[in-house]
Structure 1
């Protein structure tokens, strides 16, 4: 679909996500179905920072082996820094070679289908002052902060901030300022919960240390 057609669409995010879904389905049907982080960036486009952040935020909601969620947090942080600096996205060589297995790709396809349904029913272009070009540095800073929060290895602490960041990105892509506000509130809640969890763990460790 052309850029003009996307802009004219009632929900601009739908054709954008449709394009990624088509690429993922084609990749999943190939002989080498595993997907590397570099492959994913190539599909998204090295200048499509908001879409890439949303994809990795959604990936962070999927279960994975130990350390998986922290790596997704690193990806969000790196992409947000590139967005803040207005540079093309690029991962370090070792990170770019990390492989996402086929079941992750299939789960991501399911999540993206849900996103399309949600956008069609609940989201629409509105409050565009919050999603214009002038707002992108602030969105990038939020991505940096929530990316750092998601690097935390504490179990389940990634769910709220990743959901918030995904909703923010969806709002930007769909020109929906209300979604940006909702996502920012969830992101702030997630960051607060993570900081409190870290504080409690540190306090417990110090207490145990004093007792020993």
Structure 2
């Protein structure tokens, strides 16, 4: 941790990131053009803020949305992770980038995340930092891409646990917390196991139904 702000208040890395996220969205809301799209959100946060944007989009995937919203979020997360692996600035195709986002809802979400980050900082702190450093960028990015592909499967609720795990991992990467990263990895793997079991069950049910018709 380091001292920041008035009175030298000590804040964790993730608190500084989430405060930055809230401030950027509030500035956008106060601007002459407060309309928010996927591409503008990336512009506001910074086209090279890969880790912060992965956290933000995993949080967005927890919000209810119209059909296809979750898949759009998942493919966007995939693209951000791919750009992170190659060190590219993030650019989205117009098909995704021009989609609108609810700014007021996103501000409320980000404010709650900032509060949660302050509480989480009591338990999460920089440790095993080698698991979250620059050398971890490629393995983390590949894992995010793999989870994102799974989350495009349009079956309700099976993506919730992997998404929570990915959120924990992203939070921990920002906070340089290797222990938290491993905890998020376990949650993701548990979610993938549940998703695989659900898909297998759906396949078996469909096969049984087809056989009974025959």
Question: Could you state the TM-score of these two structures normalised by the residue count of structure 1?
Answer: 0.89
- 8 Å Cα contact 1:44/1:52 also seen in 2: yes
1:96 aligns with 97
Mapped partners of 1:189, 1:107: distance in 2: 29
Residues 169 and 181, structure 2, Cα contact 8 Å, conserved in 1: yes
- Cα shift readout 1:31-79 (whole Å, capped 9, x = no counterpart): 6544100011112211111111110000001111222112111111111
Q: What residue number does 2:53 align with?
A: 52
In the TM superposition, residue 84 of structure 1 has moved relative to its aligned partner by 2.0
Following TM superposition, the consecutive aligned residue runs of length 4 or more in structure 1 with deviations greater than 4 angstroms are: none
**Structure 2 unaligned residues grouped into runs of 5+:** none
How much has 1:27 moved relative to structure 2?
2.0
SS at structure 1 position matched to 2:121 = helix
Distance 2:22 2:11 in 1: 19
Matched, 1:152 2:135: no
Equivalence for 2:177: 176
**Matched pairs, number:** 208
- Following the alignment from structure 2 to structure 1, what is the Cα–Cα distance between the partners of residues 11 and 156? 38
* 1:112 alignment counterpart: 113
C-alpha RMSD over aligned residues: 2.2
Q: How does 1:117-132 map to 2 (within 5 A)?
A: 117-132=118-133
Instruction: Identify if the C-alpha distance between structure 1 residues 186 and 114 changes in structure 2 by more than 3 Å, giving closer, same or farther.
Output: farther
SS at match of 1:156: coil
SS at match of 1:70: helix
Question: Unaligned stretches of 5+ in structure 1?
Answer: none
- Farther off after superposition, 82-91 or 49-58: 82-91
Distance 2:105 2:17 in 1: 20
For the residue of structure 2 that corresponds to 1:95, the secondary structure is helix
**80 and 199 in structure 1: CA distance in 2 versus 1, 3 angstrom threshold:** same
Mapped contact 2:22–2:111 kept (Cα < 8 A): no
Aligned-pair CA distance for 1:22: 0.6
Displacement after TM superposition at 1:86 (Å): 2.3
My pick for the range that moved more, 167-176 or 22-31, is: 22-31
Give the C-alpha shift of residue 5 in structure 1.
6.4
